Structure 1
Amino acid sequence: MTIRYLTPIFLALAAPAAQAHEVWIERDGAGPARIYLGEPAEMLPQGGDPEFDHLKAPKLLPASKAPLARKAGYLEVAVAPGDVRAHDDTVFEPWGPADKKEGVAYFARAGRAEPRAAMPFEIAPVAAGGNRFVLIRDGKPVGDASVTAISPEKWSKSLKTDAQGMFDVPAREKGRYILTASHKDENGGQTSLGKVAVLHSIATTTFIVD
């Protein structure tokens, strides 16, 4: 089979993988940050998600000079105390026809100590340590948007933001919660891998209930 036949097959596989996967950060106390690529609502396969090798160099906020260590299924890095953020638009190559390229940008956060957003697309707590959050895009709240909350026991609940972009998380048990939201911009955008006609933005925030 020649390369010209392989290319459409690759594009067909790349789009579902990029849109189904998410990047999220886990952190315990003041320990190192662990950055994952996969499907947070599913149990992580032994050795990590099959697409994990695509996650290479997410950009940390605040920046860290510490090296990224590749572990079994996640990247580990020492970070300063407080909330941790990372973004990456180089995980998957843009896919689709040349004039209709689509791309994906990931925005991940761990912690709810800072009631503010620092990335273009982010799920931030309304108040420090609270269970009420707001979805922010380009500095503005996103109303009537879908958000998914994943519990420590891996149950998922679909939520909707109100007119002010806010929503409450039903934190029923102790452990780590993961919040996810996505946005499809058909006006396109510029990524580190080039300009795309459609840009998918995917945000995650994790926090721990003690």
Structure 2
Amino acid sequence: MKKSLLAFMAIIGLSAPLAAHQLWLEREGSVLHEYFGHWLSFKEKADGKRLDAIKGVELSPKDAYLKTVRGEDGIAIFVNKVGDMGVTEVMTPRKGKFVDFTVRTIFLAREGRSESKTLLALDMVPESPNSNTFTLMLDGKALPKAKVALMAPNTWSKNFMSDEAGKVTLQTPWLGNYVAQLDYTDKTKGEAEGIAYDQTNYVMTLHFSVK
């Protein structure tokens, strides 16, 4: 599986340290299912160690949060509102396997494209409800010339690039669920949890359905 996953990452143009894991949400009524792994291939399980780092409490909007229940292959977040939701998970800084410096990784996930509002520090905001055109936003500002990797329900994938205004239009040829991934690297040094880090890697996903 490791070789096939690395080959897939090479095809869609993602670097191994960032794309090895992603966080995503899938909604079922008033419950957000939060998963950690890779949407196309695996989910971390409760009997391992990696899922323990995912808390499932930093929800946006905050007032929609009710409670978190841990499961066998993810986390269930109970909410009291309809509409798009986002979650943020800030990881403890650590030296990566593929690089010789310390990285703080921030995973972000958005479920839905029904509202034209920013939910996350790094976000994909739909132009209108169910639109395939999005504005990429970083800390409230449009993010130009950034790559979005789109994964389709039949494992088809394609890269798209935002324009000078941060806008990008995705292609969704099939019915079903899609996940788009947006990565950004901030090379500002800092410290978190008493650990100095050299850069912050943001890994953001958007999960939405085409019906």
Interval of TM-score (by shorter of Structure 1 and Structure 2) = 0.7 to 0.9
**Cα-Cα RMSD:** 2.7
C-alpha separation in 2, matches of 1:44 and 1:206: 16
C-alpha separation in 1, matches of 2:195 and 2:57: 17
C-alpha separation in 1, matches of 2:175 and 2:205: 19
SS in 2 for 1:127: coil
C-alpha separation in 2, matches of 1:195 and 1:54: 19
Change (3 A) 1:177 1:71: same
SS in 2 for 1:113: coil
Of 198-207 and 43-52, deviating more is 43-52
| Residues matched between the structures, number | 191
C-alpha separation in 1, matches of 2:200 and 2:118: 20
C-alpha separation in 1, matches of 2:17 and 2:57: 18
C-alpha separation in 2, matches of 1:192 and 1:132: 38
C-alpha separation in 2, matches of 1:82 and 1:75: 19
TM-score (norm 2): 0.79
What are the equivalent positions in structure 2 for 1:1-210 lying under 5 Å apart? 20-28=20-28, 30-40=29-39, 42-44=40-42, 47=45, 51-63=50-62, 64-79=64-79, 80-90=81-91, 92-95=92-95, 100-189=101-190, 191=192, 194-210=195-211
Change (3 A) 1:202 1:78: same
Q: Percent identity?
A: 24
Stretches of structure 1 lacking an aligned partner (at least 5 in a row): 1-15
Q: Shift in Å at residue 95 of structure 1? A: 2.3
C-alpha separation in 2, matches of 1:158 and 1:148: 4
Q: Is the 8 A contact 2:108 2:202 kept in 1?
A: yes
SS in 1 for 2:95: coil
What one-letter code is carried by the residue in structure 2 that aligns with 1:23? L
C-alpha separation in 2, matches of 1:142 and 1:175: 28
Change (3 A) 1:142 1:67: same
Q: Is the 8 A contact 2:37 2:44 kept in 1?
A: no
Q: Shift in Å at residue 189 of structure 1? A: 4.3
Q: Shift in Å at residue 94 of structure 1? A: 2.5
Deviation per CA, 1:149-175: give whole Å up to 9, x if none: 111122211111111111111111111
C-alpha separation in 2, matches of 1:123 and 1:104: 18
TM-score (norm 1): 0.80
Could you say which residue in structure 1 is the equivalent of 2:12? none
Deviation per CA, 1:28-52: give whole Å up to 9, x if none: 3x33100111112x23359579633
C-alpha separation in 2, matches of 1:120 and 1:140: 10
Q: Pick the structure with greater CA Rg.
A: 1
Q: Is the 8 A contact 1:89 1:192 kept in 2?
A: no
Q: Shift in Å at residue 195 of structure 1? A: 4.7
SS in 2 for 1:67: strand
Change (3 A) 1:152 1:48: farther
